């Protein structure tokens, strides 16, 4: 990549079931314990699956002015909170920046649909006067990036994509490209999801996509394990501050890692099942590595999508083998959804944040709950206490419904 427009991660904001903020996320990873629990946000007894990754300790007014917080649904609250944390972490005062050179890109699967569900119930039981007056401004997915712009005065490129479970990674890739093209100098990019409501949750339960390990929730999300029986739905958000490298270094910004490649493909196969041969998932990885001018042999860590579903995990294993060949058995690999479940459109952003953090702090998180490896998922995993080390290059995979495949490549900041 040319020195002219390189992109670095200078700030991380996180709202996750294992912790809040960059330090909360890191400490949650170091505990090596799952945060999945029995659902408390609603009564799940109507469904076979009754476990989720809930954000238990989030207080909106810790991050948002009280009157404004009351007008926002949980999806947008997560978005603004994660963004504020990321800006603080980057030591970036947007009041001193040209607002036209600062943009926002976000991703989500369901946006504010859960808030719409709650208000539809109020409409049916009480009437129109019980409906939130801000409903029309909260249910659309674009509320995420638009609320970032409004809250922080960013008038640069702005978009929220709705590309299911890959959308957070896509938003980060789009933010990266906006800086490389010269459309912006700073992009606030990530994903947010607040889907824990009966109809949103039930839609996935009905198609039997989720784990029913209700008697042992902390072991329900188990990427690549032979006993996995579906994903565990979660909520959360993560936002990265992406900056053009030379200006970040000039202001003495803390740098986690360089973001240097993005790949995006589609299986064109099925709305829920991945393409069995994994060919397009492999192509997304190859494209990301190609844009980064990185060979497979330079990659030291892969954060797998690892959704803990019967079909996705072996397909991803196959795709990684197609790209890395025999090297696939030597690269460090882990799937971190065992910690917090699958936060849909936020997952790719959370996992990008984990890669950037691991690159700077020198420790790779394990695949928790991997007890009996599936023979179809035979690549060696980081397990146990994790692994010390600072790989030069890290790869993050995100795949989603509709056959979406996204990959991000990070390089160690001092590499």
* Strand-pair category, 7-16 with 236-244: antiparallel
* Mean pLDDT, range 37-57, rounded to an integer: 97
Q: Where are the beta strands (DSSP E) in 23-94?
A: 37-38, 51-52
pLDDT at residue 4, rounded to an integer: 74
Condensed to tens digits (0 to 9), the pLDDT of residues 295-314 reads 999 999 999 999 999 999 99
pLDDT at residue 236, rounded to an integer: 98
| Angstrom distance (rounded) from CA 246 to CA 38 | 47
Fold designation for 262-412:
Peroxisomal Thiolase; Chain A, domain 1 (3.40.47)
* Equal CATH topology for 7-250 and 262-412: yes
Condensed to tens digits (0 to 9), the pLDDT of residues 231-276 reads 999 999 999 999 999 999 999 999 999 999 999 999 999 999 999 9
* Strand-pair category, 332-334 with 299-303: parallel
* Mean pLDDT, range 7-35, rounded to an integer: 98
Name the band, by pLDDT with cuts 50, 70 and 90, for residue 3.
low
* Mean pLDDT, range 114-139, rounded to an integer: 92
**E strand or H helix at 70:** helix 66-70
* Mean pLDDT, range 390-397, rounded to an integer: 98
Active-site residue set: 165, 305, 342
| Angstrom distance (rounded) from CA 8 to CA 41 | 37
| Angstrom distance (rounded) from CA 167 to CA 188 | 14
pLDDT score of 2 more than 50: no
**Global pTM value:** 0.97
Report whether 392 contacts 355 (CB < 8 A). Answer: no
* Every domain of the chain and the residues it spans: 7-250, 262-412
| Angstrom distance (rounded) from CA 195 to CA 155 | 28
pLDDT at residue 371, rounded to an integer: 97
Question: Of 155, 153, 131, 147, which is closest to residue 68 (Cα–Cα)?
Answer: 147
Provide the CA 269 distance to its chain's centre, in angstroms. Answer: 24
Condensed to tens digits (0 to 9), the pLDDT of residues 326-377 reads 999 999 999 999 999 999 999 999 999 999 999 999 999 999 999 999 999 9
Mean of per-residue pLDDT scores for the chain: 97
Domain 7-250 belongs to what architecture?
A: 3-Layer(aba) Sandwich (3.40)
Residues 6 or more apart in contact with residue 280 via CB below 8 angstroms: 265, 266, 267, 268, 403, 405
Question: Of 356, 239, 244, 357, which is closest to residue 7 (Cα–Cα)?
Answer: 244
* Mean pLDDT, range 117-125, rounded to an integer: 92
pLDDT at residue 415, rounded to an integer: 77
């Amino acid at each position: 990549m040319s020195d002219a427009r390189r992109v670095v991660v200078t700030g991380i904001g996180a709202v996750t079931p294992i912790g809040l903020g960059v330090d909360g996320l890191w400490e949650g990873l170091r505990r090596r314990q799952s945060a999945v629990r029995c659902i408390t946000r609603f009564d799940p007894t109507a469904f076979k699956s009754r476990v989720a990754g809930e954000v238990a300790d989030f207080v909106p007014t810790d991050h948002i002015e009280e009157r404004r917080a009351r007008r926002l649904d949980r999806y947008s609250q997560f978005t603004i909170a994660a963004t504020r944390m990321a800006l603080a972490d980057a030591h970036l005062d947007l009041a001193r920046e040209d607002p036209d050179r600062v943009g926002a890109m976000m991703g989500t699967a369901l946006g504010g649909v859960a808030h719409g569900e709650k208000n539809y119930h109020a409409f049916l039981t009480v009437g129109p006067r019980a409906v939130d007056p801000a409903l029309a401004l909260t249910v659309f997915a674009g509320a995420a990036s638009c609320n970032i712009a409004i809250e922080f005065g960013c008038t640069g490129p702005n978009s929220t994509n709705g590309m299911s479970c890959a959308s957070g990674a896509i938003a980060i890739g789009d933010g990266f490209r906006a800086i490389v093209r010269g459309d912006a100098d700073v992009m606030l990019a990530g994903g947010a999801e607040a889907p824990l409501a009966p109809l949103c949750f039930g839609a996935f339960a009905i198609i039997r996509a989720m784990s029913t390990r209700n008697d042992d929730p902390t072991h329900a999300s188990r990427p690549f394990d032979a006993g996995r029986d579906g994903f565990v739905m979660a909520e959360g958000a993560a936002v990265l501050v992406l900056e053009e490298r030379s200006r970040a270094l000039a202001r003495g910004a803390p740098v986690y890692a360089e973001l240097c490649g993005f790949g995006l493909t589609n299986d064109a196969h099925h709305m829920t099942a991945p393409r069995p041969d994994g060919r397009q998932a492999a192509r997304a990885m190859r494209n990301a590595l190609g844009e980064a001018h990185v060979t497979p042999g330079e990659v030291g860590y892969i954060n797998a999508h690892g959704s803990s579903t019967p079909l996705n995990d072996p397909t991803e294993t196959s795709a990684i083998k197609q790209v890395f060949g025999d090297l696939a058995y030597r690269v460090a690999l882990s799937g971190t959804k065992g910690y917090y479940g699958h936060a849909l459109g936020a997952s790719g952003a959370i996992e990008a944040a984990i890669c950037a953090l691991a690159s700077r702090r020198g420790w790779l998180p394990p695949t928790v709950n991997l007890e009996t490896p599936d023979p179809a998922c035979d690549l060696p995993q980081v397990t146990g206490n994790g692994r010390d080390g600072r790989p030069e290059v890290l790869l993050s995979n995100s795949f989603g419904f509709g056959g979406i495949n996204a990959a991000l490549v990070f390089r160690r900041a001092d590499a």
